[in-house]
């Protein structure tokens, strides 16, 4: 059976005081959680996450990285810098990065490769906009996003990666995809990987993201191809996040 994996994406939220309380709350309840759990925090709080979570059941990671190893890239953070903070995971290609910061499929593929080269596990985000869903091109869009990475890093790279299917229309909107809608796209993603490597597809963790809450997590995670979640807003509250983790 595949492992279940729930990750919090804090986005641009938090401060030293609130983070401490949130992480303390998560650690207090993590004993009852069977799933693997991680938090992806803003860069300035990686040291805090490491200090607080080292030796616990909760892993930590970043929300972005540069595709470059080093150089004159003001404001950017490299994979090796993330290694200094012992990150396990890094989110790559989040729809907010794609939409607000111009990250193309090609850039996302470079970032994914840069993460893996440094030994980080990329959480590759894919997903369609509402317009694309209504135009009936969801699979085309998700397929294209996956192809960019497959062409650059190969299917075997997914032995050390996680995919998060996050329909853009469900992110931060309170509009969750129905379990059936999500499962259909998850099955499509797994079938696409299976066509290239059945073994990799079988073990690949595919998270769902987009308005996951304690109240809808269990029915989403019960779907055969949904292996956990990438949680935004609800990951900022320890009790809510733990309830989601327990549902996985």
What residues are labeled active site?
94, 166
Q: Is 67 in the site for ligand 13P (CB under 6 A)?
A: no
Q: Which two tokens stand for residue 33?
A: 């959680």
Using CB under 6 A as the binding rule, whether residue 228 contacts ligand 13P is answered as no
155 has which bridge partners? none
9 binds ligand 13P (CB under 6 A): yes
Residues 71-100 that bind ligand 13P (CB under 6 A): 94
Residue from 210, 225, 227, 245 touching ligand 13P (CB under 6 A): that is 210
- CB closer to ligand 13P, 14 vs 200: 14
Helix (H) / strand (E) containing 126: strand 121-126
Residues β-bridged to residue 208? 165, 229
Taking the complex as a whole, the smallest distance from the CB of residue 196 to ligand 13P amounts, in Å, to 26
Picking from 146, 161, 181, 174, the residue whose alpha carbon sits closest to that of residue 232 is 174
Among 232, 238, 242, 248, binds ligand 13P (CB under 6 A): 232
Residue 196 tokens read as 């290239």
Judged by CB under 6 A, does residue 211 bind ligand 13P?
A: yes
Among residues 61, 122, 167, 209, which is the contact residue for ligand 13P, using CB under 6 A?
209
| Residue with the CB atom nearest ligand 13P in the bound state | 232
Which one, 120 or 234, has the nearer CB to ligand 13P? 234
Q: How far is the CB of 2 from ligand 13P (least distance, A)?
A: 20
Give the closest residue to 205 by CA, choosing from 146, 145, 161.
Answer: 161
**Helix or strand run (H / E) with residue 22:** helix 16-29
Reference 126, options 152, 162, 159; nearest CA is: 162
Instruction: Tell me the C-alpha to C-alpha distance, in Å, between residue 109 and each of 53, 79, 130, 155, 188.
Output: 29, 14, 23, 13, 20
Q: Where on the chain is the footprint of ligand 13P (CB under 6 A)?
A: 9, 94, 166, 171-172, 209-212, 230-234
């Amino acid at each position: 059976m595949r492992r279940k994996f729930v990750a919090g994406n804090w986005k641009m939220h938090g401060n030293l005081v609130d983070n401490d309380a949130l992480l303390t709350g998560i650690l207090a309840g993590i004993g009852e959680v069977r799933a693997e759990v991680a938090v992806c925090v803003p860069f300035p709080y990686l040291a805090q996450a490491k200090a607080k979570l080292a030796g616990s059941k909760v892993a930590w990671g970043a929300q972005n990285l540069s595709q470059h190893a080093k150089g004159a890239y003001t404001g950017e953070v490299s994979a090796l810098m993330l290694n200094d903070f012992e990150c396990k995971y890094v989110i790559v290609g989040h729809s907010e990065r794609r939409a607000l910061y111009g990250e193309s499929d090609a850039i996302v593929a470079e970032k994914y490769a840069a993460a893996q080269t440094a030994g980080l596990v990329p959480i590759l985000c894919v997903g369609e906009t509402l317009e694309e869903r209504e135009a009936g091109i969801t699979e085309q869009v998700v397929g294209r996003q996956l192809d960019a990475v497959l062409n650059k890093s190969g299917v075997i790279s997914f032995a050390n990666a996680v995919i998060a299917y996050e329909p853009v229309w469900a992110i931060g909107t309170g509009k969750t995809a129905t379990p059936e809608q999500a499962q259909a796209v998850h099955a499509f993603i797994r079938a696409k990987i299976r066509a290239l490597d059945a073994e990799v597809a079988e073990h690949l963790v595919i998270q769902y993201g987009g308005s996951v809450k304690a109240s809808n997590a269990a029915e989403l995670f019960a779907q055969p191809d949904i292996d956990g979640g990438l949680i935004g807003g609800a990951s900022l509250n320890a009790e809510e996040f733990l309830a989601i983790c327990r549902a996985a």
